[in-house]
Amino acid sequence: MQPLLTASQIHEADTYTISHEPISSIDLMERAAKAFEQVFTARYGDIEKSIAIYCGTGNNGGDGLAIARLLTDYGFEKVDVKIARFSEKTSVDFNTNLERLQQTGVIIKEFKSTAELIIEPADIIIDALLGNGLNKPLTGEYAQLGQQINSWGKTVVAVDVPTGFYGEGEIEEVAVVIKADLAITFQQPKINFLLPESKYAVKNWVAVGIGINKTYTQQLNSPYQYLEEADIKQILEPRERFSNKGTYGHALIVAGHAETMGAALLCSSACAQAGAGLTTACIPQSGLVALNSYMPEIMAIVREGETIPEIDWAKFSTMGIGPGLGKDDNALALLTEIFTNYTRPVVIDADALNLLATYKQLWACLPKGSILTPHMKEFDRLFGEHKTWWQRLQTAQQKAKELEIYIVLKNDYTIVASPDEKLYFNATSNAAMASGGMGDVLTGVITALLAQQYSALEACLAGVYLHGKAGDDLALPNKLTVVLPGRVAAQVAASMAGLMA
Ligand SMILES: NC(=O)C1=CN([C@@H]2O[C@H](COP(=O)(O)OP(=O)(O)OC[C@H]3O[C@@H](n4cnc5c(N)ncnc54)[C@H](OP(=O)(O)O)[C@@H]3O)[C@@H](O)[C@H]2O)[C@@H](O)CC1
Ligand SMILES: [K+]
């Protein structure tokens, strides 16, 4: 698990590392510049290309100067450095790196006003103007320079963060940011890189380690955490000898309606394939033939007309409720019946979330420790409209605590909010998975993990990771642009095995 720090915490962690590793500040900058150079040359290694490095006069600019020296050593012959002297202030390490660079043949130009600039002829621009030290939106010369660089439409690679971009907090639509094709960022992704609004400023990012003290960053106890493969490997347990279907729980999937039986099939088949010992689907009569033909391993409890079926509550380890269920009175009556009789944590998705949003009385009997898996629109229906994803993060954090639930807010980087106010970001999954039914599969996978006695937090974290990993394992090696949910469900077991190998 990697803690995601805010800009001021990153600054503290840098300072701590400098005094406790110990390493001099200029050597830490050199390490950062080298880490940048390695990723940069791996992607843009054609030394015939010309590079312009725009530097500020703080430490981000200092990085830029060190990078200019390292790229020249690497073999780039056309490296121009342009220093924006918009302020008299300089950092010590900027000055040291300027002296070092002046001893090489690299051309260094300085400008005090954007008006002095001509259209940039270089192939690639490296943005080392402002980094983590940003403390106000870009105005004046900086804003003009930002607009100017954006207007050139060049390939831009940002050092640490794009100039003008806040690593955390609300992203303002109107603010000027130097748009980056790639941000090579130090130590950790910045929290805002993981929210959809960053896509206008950061097309892609890569985080490179620079040896920041891990014990220190852990003890800052950041609410924002980034899931790593090692975390999931630690969660997943191999199956034991002498175990049987009873060992792995009995899950009930309450889903489907005449026109939306597919959701029930995807959800319940994903549940079975993610390892629930037994899976039963509570489905409408009209879907029974479909269920039996789609997956004979799944048992059925049939819903006929308006009648609520008899459910032997004690039989089920957990339930996944909602995919394709419908929002009519019958669905409401069924959900009320479940909440009244069943007290163990359940997984709530899709129409069951919409019912919760409409009938507030349901909240009172939602089993504590349950897992809600909304996408953005469902989340807003549940908790009110949000203008930004940053606001959604704060609401998810508050509501998970207040209601003692887990919220899985689906996103490119799905966010799991837990009752102890932590927010976990998951990085697996890809755009090929963007299709109807994918959420139903996720619900099935999380339900299966709960049935197998993983804790609710473990089920959420391993569930979102595995679901995304299965999609990645299918799509990425073959560069598929589409991977359908049924295939993802079928891949989960293999991806899980890959992680446990
Ligand atoms: N040792 C380390 O810590 C390491 C740091 N590293 C690198 O340092 C970067 C952080 O450097 P930094 O702290 O010097 O800040 P930076 O982003 O260069 O800004 C400089 C100054 O600009 C100013 N300013 C802010 N906003 C402004 C605005 N809108 N318009 C105009 N001015 C504005 C503000 O000054 P102020 O306004 O407070 O006087 C600020 O102090 C980090 O991103 C990474 O690249 C790595 O080398 C690893 C080791
Ligand atoms: K920058």
Per-residue pLDDT of the chain (501 residues; tens, 9 = 90+): 999 999 999 999 999 999 999 999 999 999 999 999 999 999 999 999 999 999 999 999 999 999 999 999 999 999 999 999 999 999 999 999 999 999 999 999 999 999 999 999 999 999 999 999 999 999 999 999 999 999 999 999 999 999 999 999 998 888 899 999 999 999 999 999 999 999 999 999 999 999 999 999 999 999 999 999 999 999 999 999 999 999 999 999 999 999 999 999 999 999 999 999 999 999 999 999 999 999 999 999 999 988 999 999 999 999 999 999 999 999 999 999 999 999 999 999 999 999 999 999 999 999 999 999 999 999 999 999 999 999 999 999 999 999 999 999 999 999 999 999 999 999 999 999 999 999 999 999 999 999 999 999 999 999 999 999 999 999 999 999 999 999 999 999 999 999 999
Give the pLDDT confidence score for residue 172 in this predicted structure. 83
Give the pLDDT confidence score for residue 174 in this predicted structure. 82
**Does 132 count as an annotated binding residue?**
yes
Per DSSP, what are the bridge partners of residue 425? 226, 415
Q: For ligand 1, atom 16, which residue shows the shortest CA distance?
A: 133
pTM: 0.97
Say how far apart CA 451 and CA 459 lie, in whole Å: 9
Centre of ligand 1 to C-alpha 370, Å, is: 43
The yes/no answer to whether this complex scores an ipTM above 0.90 is: yes
Question: Is residue 7 classed as helix, strand or coil in its secondary structure?
Answer: helix
Show the ligand 1 pocket: residues with CB < 6 angstroms: 11, 14, 25, 28-29, 32, 56, 58-61, 63, 89, 91, 130-136, 138, 142, 159-160, 186, 210
**Does 356 count as an annotated binding residue?**
no
Torsion sign across C-alpha atoms 376, 382, 387, 390: negative
Ligand 1 site-directed mutation target among 53, 59, 139, 184, most atoms within 8 Å of CB: 59
Task: Show the domains of the chain with their CATH numbers.
Answer: 2-226 (3.40.50.10260), 238-500 (3.40.1190.20)
Closest-CA residue to 218 (of 470, 422, 41, 59): 422
**Does 131 count as an annotated binding residue?**
yes
Say how far apart CA 298 and CA 291 lie, in whole Å: 8
**Does 305 count as an annotated binding residue?**
no
Ligand 1 site-directed mutation target among 29, 135, 166, 208, most atoms within 8 Å of CB: 135
Beta-strand pair 51-55/347-348: unpaired
Give the pLDDT confidence score for residue 181 in this predicted structure. 98
Give the pLDDT confidence score for residue 34 in this predicted structure. 98
